[in-house]
């Protein structure tokens, strides 16, 4: 019983749904989810009030100005929208066209997070949920944000 309780306690202390707390980029933030349950983005109505159009309108220009590594693939930015319409617990994963992991610098990851934090019209629908933004690259140039 003690072992089971230890495993459960450890998993709640180190994980937030599908984002491992050890992997978050914005560790020094005061962001907190409102509850221990974080819903997947596809099972809630939470999101950005003006949807993808509004996201692109705010972040497209600054994202295009970043210097990305010269590869073709996707950068997935995953984070949590809490019930207070705040965002945090960012995690970034990059893959090439062959679905192989690509490392991007900590500095670039922090710049991407800073740009996404400019988005202010979140609607968490009084619950915590995951959200993700994809940046599609071709030869190091941004082709699409979705």
pTM, full prediction: 0.84
Placement of tokens 């940046």 in the chain: 135
pLDDT of residue 6: 41
Which tops the pLDDT comparison, 65 or 28?
65
CA distance 30 to 126: 19
Residue range 46-89, pLDDT digits in tens: 899 999 999 999 999 999 999 999 999 999 999 999 999 999 99
Q: Determine the structural domain holding residue 74 and report its residue range.
A: 2-145
CB 55 within 8 A of CB 48: yes
User: Does residue 13 carry a pLDDT above 50?
Assistant: no
CB 79 within 8 A of CB 88: yes
Count structural domains, the chain.
1
CA distance 112 to 65: 11
- Report the first-to-last Cα separation within the chain, whole angstroms: 45
Which tops the pLDDT comparison, 138 or 42?
138
pLDDT of residue 15: 43
Band of residue 1 on the pLDDT scale cut at 50, 70, 90: low
Band of residue 45 on the pLDDT scale cut at 50, 70, 90: confident
User: Does residue 12 carry a pLDDT above 60?
Assistant: no
Residue range 83-120, pLDDT digits in tens: 999 999 999 999 999 999 999 999 999 999 999 999 99
């Amino acid at each position: 019983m003690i072992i089971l309780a230890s495993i459960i306690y450890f998993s709640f202390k180190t994980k937030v749904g599908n984002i491992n707390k050890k992997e978050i980029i914005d560790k020094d933030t005061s962001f907190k989810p409102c509850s221990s349950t974080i819903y997947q983005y596809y099972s809630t109505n939470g999101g950005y009030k003006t949807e993808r159009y509004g996201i692109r309108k705010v972040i497209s220009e600054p994202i295009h100005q970043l210097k990305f590594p010269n590869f073709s693939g996707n950068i997935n930015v995953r984070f949590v929208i809490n019930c207070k319409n705040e965002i945090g617990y960012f995690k970034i994963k990059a893959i090439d066209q062959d679905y192989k992991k690509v490392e991007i610098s900590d500095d670039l990851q922090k710049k991407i997070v800073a740009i996404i934090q400019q988005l202010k019209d979140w609607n968490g629908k009084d619950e915590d949920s995951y959200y993700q933004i994809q940046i599609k690259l071709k030869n190091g140039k941004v082709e699409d944000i979705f």
